[in-house]
Amino acid sequence: MIVSKLPNVGTTIFTRMSQLALETGAINLSQGFPDFDGPQALREAVARHVMEGRNQYSPMTGLPALRQQVAAKIARSYGVQRDADSEITITPGATEAIFCAVQALIRPGDEAIVLDPCYDSYEPSVELAGGQCVHVPLALPDFAVDWQRLSDAISPRTRLIFLNSPHNPSGALLTRADLDKLAELIRGRDIHVISDEVYEHLIYDGARHASVLAHEELYRRAFVVSSFGKTYHVTGWKTGYVVAPPALTAELRKIHQYVNFCGVTPLQFGLAEFMAACPEHVEELPAFYQAKRDLFCDLLGGSRFTFTRAPGTYFQLADYSAVRPDLDDVAMAEWLTREHGVAAIPVSVFYQSAPKDMRLYKP
């Protein structure tokens, strides 16, 4: 008999709702992938590299040309230099990067603080390393960090704090002032940070992303994770990267080499080529996605749903209390899928203890 290492984990809500959408023929707004393809030049580059025979293992740390393009993008976006050889690692997806960073940091008995609602891969990664998550809810209605509650949650066993900005599932943004507060809070403590920044280029209304990459004090103790899939509309490629100081990168790579060893080679060649040829792509993303957000919100504006336009990501939270106040958000997501052909994600599943009156869902 197998004793589960994750007894409280079942099938993810993304899989469940996507399956329900498939079964019912619903429009699937329940999983974070676009319904349009990546840039044609990028897809053509990958196809060409496949046909030209670049199909064997890439270096464990990632293709040098791609790591160099990531370093160049960071310099353009945030005005800081990160070394392609000693600080940047290409991974088969951001989730693998997060998993490896957690395994490098967490020992049995350690605690990791997560800010609820939080992405569902964080806690299982901590538990598999022998640690325990401490859940600190973000303050409603704007999903801001409650600094007093975060301070109170820190204990002598705290080893790690997860950040996620732009935030999944709310779209909320951390500011430079937030990063300064965190740096002050953990100064002099043996606490590290994993900053999940996969939506770093999907920020609207003229706002700028406050990246840990550009906060020198926090960066010295951080793993910063991002995703080519989100930035280039190719989520199925499951290709991401993690940036960290050399000593932390060395520890992450010890784990990474025995989890996946390397990412998919022709994808890395294609991404490196496209990034070099089209550096403007990331600068055009905010306006590109904001137009889609505004169209969606304009069309939703005449409905009984209420919402505040999300400042980041491609999610939008909607309050449905004027539509079906009798349903909790899980039942509401299922009802919307079955009865109206639109699949969405309930927000309560991202909490350890959801607010009692959770009337939000994420399309």
* DSSP assignments along 10-54, one per residue: -S-HHHHHHHHHHHHT-EE-SSS--SSPPPHHHHHHHHHHHHTT-
What is the predicted pLDDT for the residue at 355?
Answer: 84
Buried b (16+ CB within 10 A) or exposed e, 181-218: bbbeebeeeebbbbbbbbbbbbbbeeeebbbbbbbeeb
> What residues does CATH 3.40.640.10 cover in the chain?
41-277
What is the predicted pLDDT for the residue at 303?
Answer: 94
Q: Which tops the pLDDT comparison, 73 or 36?
A: 73
Q: How far apart are CA 82 and CA 244, in angstroms?
A: 9
What is the predicted pLDDT for the residue at 74?
Answer: 98
Residue whose structure tokens are 């939506």:
199
Q: What angle do CA 287, 336, 339 make, to 5 degrees?
A: 130
**pLDDT surpasses 80 at 357:** no
β-strands 360-362, 158-164: how paired?
A: unpaired
Q: What is the mean pLDDT of residues 334-355?
A: 93
Q: What is the mean pLDDT of residues 172-184?
A: 98
Q: What is the mean pLDDT of residues 69-75?
A: 98
**pLDDT surpasses 90 at 153:** yes
- As its CATH architecture, domain 13-38+281-362 has Alpha-Beta Complex (3.90)
Q: How far apart are CA 172 and CA 138, in angstroms?
A: 10
> What residues does CATH 3.90.1150.10 cover in the chain?
13-38+281-362
The CATH number of the structural domain formed by 41-277 is: 3.40.640.10
What is the predicted pLDDT for the residue at 363?
Answer: 63
> pLDDT digits over 246-288, tens only?
999 999 999 999 999 999 999 999 999 999 999 999 999 999 9
- Considering the chain, what is the average pLDDT of its residues? 95
Token pair belonging to 267: 């994808």
Averaging pLDDT over each range in 33-42, 211-220, 347-356, which range is the top one?
Answer: 211-220
pTM of the model: 0.95
**pLDDT surpasses 70 at 160:** yes
346 near 20, Cβ under 8 Å? no
What is the predicted pLDDT for the residue at 362?
Answer: 61
Cα dist. 119→13, 38, 116, 325 in Å?
A: 11, 24, 8, 26
> pLDDT digits over 3-42, tens only?
999 998 888 888 899 999 999 999 999 887 788 999 999 9
Cα dist. 317→8, 16, 263, 324, 345 in Å?
A: 26, 19, 33, 16, 10
**pLDDT surpasses 80 at 316:** yes
Q: How far apart are CA 68 and CA 213, in angstroms?
A: 16
Q: What is the mean pLDDT of residues 100-107?
A: 98
**pLDDT surpasses 80 at 291:** yes
The rounded percent of the chain whose pLDDT value lies above 70 is 98
